[in-house]
């Protein structure tokens, strides 16, 4: 068995026993990245030398008998919106292309402390806004199962790299399905923990009340291992919950006795692909054969979930993204050109004697804001900023945001009632398998509807996991969605593991579908190009002056 075919749990056992070194493991995944990622484009950045140096250091510590962290030398890929001190954190956006964070996100600090080897930064939809990874300013990630198709999003790179054997473990974020959707479309296991389970400190916010960090891996067992490292209270995040973190990896082998499964009839209606439905129903049959009781639970408000989500998330996003204004860091428009244009317009209006228009002319500051943001953000991000700004405006707040908050409470109540009678809610993750790249680019509404089954998990603040449960006639993976009450990650993982013990969908390999092309990795690392003189020194004081680029 090739090294990259092994699960993280197997690799960790080999590392701990000394059968494998971290350098060997890291090297194997780096080789896979180098040989295949020019096709998949899961990564925005890979620093092979730094990863190997870190692996070597961990190997040395192990050899010297120094106690190692939980991940003792395992490579972990990180979605490019988790701040890492001194390194770029681009959020797949032009506006942060040259941004270097001055600090580590809490999960990055935890991964470092757990002796993970941070192997690279994965591609995503710009600011995590999207479900296909196509809105990345640096080009889409391709689904390893079919390079013409999307990997899902927004954590598309994070799921694709695990599916393609480029990393055993990967960290993503999920605001409305951004971990579970790509996990389903790429045939891997991905979990969105309960809101507050994992610290958001250093996660570049999209929608603060919905964002949550979670693990992506080959198996539920591997996800359990990674979640153990990520989860836990953080005094730097007021919304993180102070509850002890169970040892998920120790209890995962215990099947759920007397498991009661709920199915939401509303989730098996119009729009659901027949093959996806068949795979999910087959999965339910598997659970039944394992002793689970299955019943229907009603979620009367689930039909409002997408509408509610597309009010709340853009509202919060419009405020969260206000800081990218070209003043303190990030992309700023070419000021010399901007000032020249402003001067020319002013002169023209003066000559024409058009005082009214002259009065209306934006001053340099407003113009700088407008141009920097217009040039720095992509269309999907702009769309959501506009949606949110509109919905929060005076006179609309009550009709949109406030009403959406009320519906959000009703959705949560639906879940609370449902979980009175069942332990897990099962259903599809996405309505169809992966669609073709470009297929929905001009139809944002149909893209939003793709989140139909996942957004209510985030609105309710509960946990959900996506596990592979079938392969379509086109050879594309299908995901099964498990949802549990708040802080029942252990139940989700044990439930998922039960299924994975009984089936082998999660072991199906996408590798056969990737043609082997050897191409130098370094060629595509565009991130280091300095643009418009916007270098930010994260250690120096904030640059305050509105000075022209040097």
Q: Which of 1, 49, 65, 238 binds other proteins (CB under 8 A)?
A: 238
Interacting residue with other proteins among 522, 523, 545, 550 (CB under 8 A): 545
Binding mask 297-336 for other proteins (x = CB under 8 A): ------------------xx-xx-xxxxx-xxx-------
Q: What are phi and psi of 243, to 5 degrees?
A: -130, 145
Query: Tokens 């693990």 belong to which residue?
Result: 215
Residue of 154, 318, 472, 510 marked catalytic:
154
Contacts 24+ apart (CB under 8 A), 308-311: 308/404, 308/407, 308/408, 308/411, 308/455, 308/459, 309/176, 309/210, 309/451, 309/455, 309/456, 309/458, 309/459, 310/387, 310/448, 311/387, 311/391, 311/400, 311/401, 311/403, 311/404
Using the rule CB under 8 A, give the single segment among 136-144, 198-206, 217-225, 245-253 that binds other proteins.
198-206
DSSP 329: S
Contacting range for other proteins; rule: CB under 8 A; set: 140-148, 216-224, 429-437, 540-548: 540-548
Does position 89 interact with other proteins (CB under 8 A)? The reply is yes
Selection from 511, 428, 514 nearest residue 470 by Cα: 428
Helix, strand or coil, per DSSP, at residue 327: coil
Q: What 3-state DSSP class applies to 169?
A: strand
The answer to whether 178 and 133 have CB atoms below 8 angstroms apart is: no
- If one asks whether residue 239 binds other proteins (CB under 8 A), the answer comes out as yes
Per CB under 8 A, 525 contacts other proteins: no
193/495 with CB nearer other proteins: 193
Interaction pattern, residues 347-386, with other proteins; x per rule: CB under 8 A: -------------x---xx---x-----------------
Q: Is 17 a catalytic residue?
A: no
Q: What φ, ψ does residue 24 adopt, rounded to 5°?
A: -65, -45
**What is the closest distance, in whole angstroms, from the C-beta atom of residue 81 to other proteins in the complex?**
8
Catalytic residue among 21, 178, 372, 510: 178
Q: Is 337 in the site for other proteins (CB under 8 A)?
A: no
Minimum CB distance to other proteins, residue 328 (Å) = 5
What is the C-alpha separation between 9 and 96, in angstroms, rounded? 35
Per CB under 8 A, 345 contacts other proteins: no
**Helix ranges (DSSP H) in 303-363:** 305-320, 335-352, 355-360
Measure Cα distances from 110 to 76, 113, 217, 494 in Å. 12, 5, 18, 24
State the minimum distance, in angstroms, from the CB of residue 361 to other proteins.
11
Interacting residues toward other proteins by CB under 8 A: 81-83, 89, 91, 96, 99, 101-103, 105, 200-205, 207-209, 235-239, 315-316, 318-319, 321-325, 327-329, 360, 364-365, 369, 389, 392-394, 397, 401, 541-542, 544-547
As annotated, the active-site residues are 79, 154, 178
């Amino acid at each position: 068995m090739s090294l990259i075919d092994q699960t993280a749990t197997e690799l960790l056992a080999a590392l701990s026993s000394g059968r494998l070194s971290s350098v060997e493991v890291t090297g194997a995944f780096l080789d896979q990245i180098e040989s295949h990622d020019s096709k998949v484009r899961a990564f925005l950045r890979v620093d092979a030398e730094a990863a190997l140096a870190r692996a070597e250091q961990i190997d040395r510590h192990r050899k010297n008998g120094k106690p190692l962290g939980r991940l003792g030398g395992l490579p972990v890929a990180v979605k490019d919106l988790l701040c890492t001190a001194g390194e770029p954190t681009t959020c797949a956006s032009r506006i942060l292309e040259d941004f270097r964070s001055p600090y580590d996100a809490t999960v990055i600090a935890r991964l470092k402390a757990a002796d993970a080897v941070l192997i690279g930064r994965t591609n995503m939809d710009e600011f995590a806004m999207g479900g296909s990874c196509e809105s990345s300013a640096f080009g889409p990630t391709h689904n390893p199962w079919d390079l013409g198709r999307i990997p899902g999003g927004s954590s598309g790179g994070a799921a694709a790299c695990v599916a393609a054997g480029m990393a055993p473990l990967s960290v993503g974020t999920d605001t409305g399905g951004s971990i579970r959707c790509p996990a389903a479309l790429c045939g891997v296991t991905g979990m969105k923990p309960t809101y507050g389970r994992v610290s958001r400190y250093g996660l570049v916010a999209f929608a603060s009340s919905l964002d949550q960090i979670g693990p992506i891996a080959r198996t539920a067992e591997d996800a359990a291992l990674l979640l153990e490292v990520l989860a836990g209270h953080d005094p730097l995040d007021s919304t993180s919950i102070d509850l002890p973190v169970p040892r998920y990896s120790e209890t995962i082998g215990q099947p759920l006795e007397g498991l009661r499964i709920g199915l939401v009839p509303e989730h098996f209606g119009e729009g659901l692909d027949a093959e996806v439905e068949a795979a999910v129903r087959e999965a339910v049959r598997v659970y039944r054969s394992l002793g689970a009781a299955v019943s229907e639970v009603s979620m009367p408000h689930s039909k409002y979930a997408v509408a509610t989500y597309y009010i709340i998330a853009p509202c919060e996003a419009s405020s969260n993204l206000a800081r990218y204004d070209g003043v303190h860091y990030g992309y700023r428009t070419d000021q010399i050109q901007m000032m020249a244009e402003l001067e020319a317009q002013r002169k023209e209006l003066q000559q024409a004697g058009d005082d009214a228009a002259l009065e209306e002319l934006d001053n340099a500051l407003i113009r700088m804001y407008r141009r920097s943001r217009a040039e720095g953000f992509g269309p999907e991000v702009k769309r959501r900023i506009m949606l949110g700004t509109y919905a929060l405006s005076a006179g609309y707040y009550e009709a949109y945001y406030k009403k959406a908050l009320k519906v959000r409470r009703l959705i949560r109540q639906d879940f609370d009632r449902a979980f009175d009678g069942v332990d897990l809610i099962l259903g599809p993750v996405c309505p169809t398998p992966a669609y073709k790249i470009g297929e929905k680019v001009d139809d944002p509404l149909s893209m939003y509807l793709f989140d139909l089954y996942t957004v209510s998990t985030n609105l309710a603040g509960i946990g959900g996991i996506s596990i592979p449960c079938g392969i379509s006639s086109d050879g594309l993976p299908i995901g099964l969605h498990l949802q549990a009450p708040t802080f029942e990650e252990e139940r989700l993982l044990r439930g998922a593991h039960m299924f994975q013990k009984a089936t082998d969908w999660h072991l199906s390999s996408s590798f056969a579908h990737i043609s082997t092309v050897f191409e130098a990795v370094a060629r595509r690392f565009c991130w280091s190009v300095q643009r418009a003189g916007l270098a930010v020194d994260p250690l120096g004081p904030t640059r305050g002056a509105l000075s022209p680029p040097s």
